[in-house]
Amino acid sequence: MTRRAARLGWTAATLLVVAYALAPVAWIVSLSLKRGDDVHARRFLPSDWTLENYRAVFRTPLFTAALRNSIGISLMSTGVSVVLAALAAYAIARLEFPGRRWVLGTALAVAMFPVISIVGPLFELWRTVGLYDTWPGLAIPYLSFTLPLSIWVLTAHFRQLPWELEEAAIMDGATRWQAFREVMVPLAAPGVATAAILTFLFAWNDFVFGISLTSTDRARTVPAALAFFTGASQFQHPAASIAAAAVVVTVPVVALVLVFQRRIVSGLTSGAVKG
Amino acid sequence: MASISLHHVSKRFAPGAPPVVDDVSLAVADGELVVLVGPSGCGKSTVLRMIAGLEDLTAGELRIGEVRANELEPRARDLAMVFQSYALYPHLTVFENLAFPLRLDRRRADAEVRRKVSEVAGLLELGPLLDRKPGQLSGGQRQRVAMGRAIVREPRGFLFDEPLSNLDAKLRGQVRVEIARLQRRLGATMVYVTHDQVEAMTLGDRVAVLRRGRLQQVDRPRALYERPANAFVAAFVGAPAMNLVPATVEDGHLVLPFARVPAPAGLAAPLPPGAPVIAGLRPEDLADAALLGPETLRRGTTFEAAVDATEWLGPQQLAYVPYDAPGDDVAATIRGLARELGGEGLRTQLVAALDPATRVRGGATARLWLDPGRLHLFDARTGESLRRDAPAPYSPR
């Protein structure tokens, strides 16, 4: 009986947590399906279901441009981050060079830096250099925050790969680069996927850099663009269209995480336990 | 195929550290299988890895096919290696594992890769396994894939690093025969590392015994068994291991703790009276006196032995005879050797491998017989053999 009671307790607790986490999401989804004045009707479900908000959002150049920027910048920083992190992690895990630990420690220190403290200086710097309001202008700061974590995750992965596999590849006639690309990287795939997803999420969700380092449709990302949304008239609150836009940018992230959640978990915990 | 030779090769892992490999010279002829054998930590794997190019040489020269290879990348040496862990690529199928060395050369046609892989797969009976991943294979199958991956490239030589130690005993015997067959068939130059003296003796055209980074003796298995150059080689080769017994010389006789025998002939120099020596006695050279005819008995020495335990193995019966050894330096040297070879060196006992027809039982006194002519004698201090026909102490040319 106690076991059954325990299971009931667990179920109840789980439901509570899920409800707590998903209620705002449900609210946003419901909001995005409401028609103009229904938004203020103080009801959870829309009285009149409509996809009008989604159509409107995709007709808004502000949003479509931002969506393009978000995708582009996130992919750019993800790609560069994974490649650089893989090379760095391999070197740290496999090669003997002075200052190896120092590199790892510094990387961690960089990741601890509060985002807000570098936004001001970056704003000035980017305007001088000409990176203000450009894709690289956002991708570079994203890199500096995501690279350390990627390096840590990938170093842990490379460390647990048997060294003999690399030697086997070399004995099979591979160059060191071939051994890295054809054997080590595929074997570290879970780590690579983890690093890629974490980087992508960071870039995709960022608001502070997005709002501070952009000024036009050239590079403004979705989280930043949402702040500039207006309703049908300037007196109307754009809650419904913001909700629709929010749903549009949330869906790919949720999908990504659902597909890869096993990998993320195993990627983050690997190195801690053997398995 | 090519010859492989080492000339005064040494290896230190750090400047000033003791050498792991110390002045090793060894020539492996084209098509020859040489086994490097020794207890763990003797440097045999390091020698192999230096030949492979996975470790640099600290000193000396490595030649492959009569060309200096010290500075060559592993790729350029064109040697294949089979690892103890097999080191199969877990993300690739058996086919892809076998094709891996071939596909590194992008100019090679796909049809040729297919042809060579299926050829090797046929040779090693891997055909039905080509689509599996290494994780789905048994130990023996993985071992064959590892060999296949080495063969497929048709390298100039093969390096084996304890390839059988992850297999169970029964399979080990089979694969051992398979490797010998393959070597003959391919006419391959092979360097084979193992800590197992049975593997070494059965496989090697010649066997090189290493101890603490130094070569002790390089010889044909039979010569190694019959004329060990020193006490270490004598104790390492053969199972059950040779009995090493402290002895002293007394007016033409050799005094063992349990018997007094005429000093054997064929020594390099007459033994000075009172000199301590190490006597080596193979278990199979002892016999149950009750089973021997008077002719044979007269040729050797018979002595009383208090047998405390026996083990029946089928083809022979082992009898254990504890004896009291003098607490001197010689006994200590012998105990040190036993420990080095993985034994405990706790008790001094004589092991006799008797004819299974024997009635000798544990807890009783038996009459054992030995032929003094079969005794090995070693210098008590250096361990070098004192026989006239002993190979000279190993010194690299």
* Secondary structure (3-state) at B54: coil
Q: Mean pLDDT for chain A?
A: 84
pLDDT of residue A32 exceeding 90: no
A174 reaches B (C-beta below 8 A): yes
CA separation, residue A262 to residues A256, A265, B350 (Å)? 11, 5, 62
CA separation, residue B118 to residues A192, B92, B94, B109, B131 (Å)? 34, 16, 11, 15, 12
Query: What average pLDDT does the segment A144-149 reach?
Result: 87
Mark whether B218 and B261 lie in a shared domain: no
* Domain annotation covers residue B76: yes
Residue-level pLDDT at A273: 38
pLDDT of residue A267 exceeding 70: no
For residues B313-339, b (16+ Cβ closer than 10 Å) or e, as one string?
Answer: eeebbebbbebebeeeebbebbbebbe
Asked if residue B240 has a cis previous peptide bond (ω within 30° of 0), the answer is yes
What's the token pair of residue B395?
Answer: 């010194």
Mark whether B158 and B192 lie in a shared domain: yes
Task: Say which of A165, A175, A182 has its CB closest to residue B75.
Answer: A175
Mark whether B268 and B175 lie in a shared domain: no
Q: Where are the domains of chain A?
A: 61-228
Confidence band for A272, pLDDT divided at 50, 70 and 90: very low
Whether the Cβ atoms of residue A172 and residue B80 lie closer than 8 Å to each other: yes
DSSP one-letter string for A179-209: HIIIIIHHHTHHHHHHHHHHHHHHHHH--HH
pLDDT of residue A37 exceeding 90: no
d(CA B47, CA B42): 10
d(CA A116, CA A118): 6
Mark whether B9 and B71 lie in a shared domain: yes
Q: Which residues of A touch B88 (CB under 8 A)?
A: 168
Give ipTM to 2 decimals.
0.83
Mark whether B202 and B249 lie in a shared domain: no
What's the token pair of residue A233?
Answer: 């008239």
Do B100 and A182 make contact, defined as CB atoms within 8 angstroms? Answer: yes
A14 reaches B (C-beta below 8 A): no
CA separation, residue B82 to residues A164, B121, B143, B158, B162 (Å)? 11, 16, 9, 8, 8
* Domain of residue B63, CATH code: 3.40.50.300
Whether the Cβ atoms of residue B45 and residue B193 lie closer than 8 Å to each other: yes
Closest residue in B to A181 (Cα–Cα) = B104
d(CA A120, CA A46): 42
Do B89 and A174 make contact, defined as CB atoms within 8 angstroms? Answer: no
d(CA B70, CA B56): 7
Whether the Cβ atoms of residue B11 and residue B46 lie closer than 8 Å to each other: yes
Query: What digits encode the pLDDT tens for the residues A3-21?
Result: 889 999 999 999 999 999 8
**Positions of chain B with pLDDT under 50:** 396-397
CA separation, residue A109 to residues A145, A252, B239 (Å)? 10, 31, 60
* Domain annotation covers residue B296: yes
Rounded to the nearest angstrom, the gap between the alpha carbon of residue B25 and the centroid of all alpha carbons in its chain is 17
Cβ contacts below 8 Å, chain A against chain B, sum to: 52
Mark whether B175 and B324 lie in a shared domain: no
d(CA B217, CA A160): 39
Residue type at A179?
A
Sheet with B4-11, strands from edge to edge, namely B21-28, B4-11, B59-64, B67-68
Query: What digits encode the pLDDT tens for the residues A180-230?
Result: 999 888 888 888 888 888 888 888 888 888 888 888 888 888 888 888 776
CA separation, residue A251 to residues A46, A65, A254, B34 (Å)? 20, 18, 5, 64
Closest residue in B to A184 (Cα–Cα) = B89
Dihedral over alpha carbons B241, B242, B248, B251 (to 10 degrees): 160
**Residue A76: CB atoms within 10 Å:** 18
**Residue B110: CB atoms within 10 Å:** 10
Whether the Cβ atoms of residue A156 and residue A270 lie closer than 8 Å to each other: yes
> Of B48, B111, B113, which is closest to residue B77 (Cα–Cα)?
B48
A247 reaches B (C-beta below 8 A): no
Mark whether B158 and B207 lie in a shared domain: yes
Task: Say which of A168, A173, A178 has its CB closest to residue B83.
Answer: A168
Mark whether B215 and B277 lie in a shared domain: no
Sheet with B157-161, strands from edge to edge, namely B79-82, B157-161, B190-194, B33-37, B206-211, B214-219
Burial of A115 (0-12, 13-18, 19+ CB in 10 A): middle
pLDDT of residue A270 exceeding 70: no
Mark whether B156 and B210 lie in a shared domain: yes
Task: Say which of B80, B89, B105 has its CB closest to residue A171.
Answer: B80
Confidence band for A66, pLDDT divided at 50, 70 and 90: confident
Mark whether B171 and B105 lie in a shared domain: yes
B141, containing H or E segment: helix B139-151
Mark whether B167 and B116 lie in a shared domain: yes
User: Considering Cα of A8, then A13, then A14, then A20, what sign does the dihedral take?
Assistant: positive
Query: Length of chain A in residues, anyone?
Result: 275
A161 reaches B (C-beta below 8 A): no
In CATH terms, the fold of domain A61-228 is MetI-like fold (1.10.3720)
Given the DSSP bridges, would you call strands B260-262 and B214-219 parallel, antiparallel or unpaired? Answer: unpaired
d(CA B374, CA B286): 10
Given the DSSP bridges, would you call strands B243-250 and B253-255 parallel, antiparallel or unpaired? Answer: antiparallel
What is the span of the domain harbouring residue B290?
231-379
d(CA B7, CA B47): 12
What crossing angle do the helices spanning A239-269 and A61-94 adopt, rounded to 10°? 10
Do B105 and A167 make contact, defined as CB atoms within 8 angstroms? Answer: no
The total number of structural domains that make up chain B: 2
Q: Which residues of B touch A191 (CB under 8 A)?
A: none
What's the token pair of residue B177?
Answer: 């025969």
Mark whether B235 and B196 lie in a shared domain: no
Query: What digits encode the pLDDT tens for the residues A80-122?
Result: 999 999 999 998 888 888 888 888 888 888 878 788 888 888 8
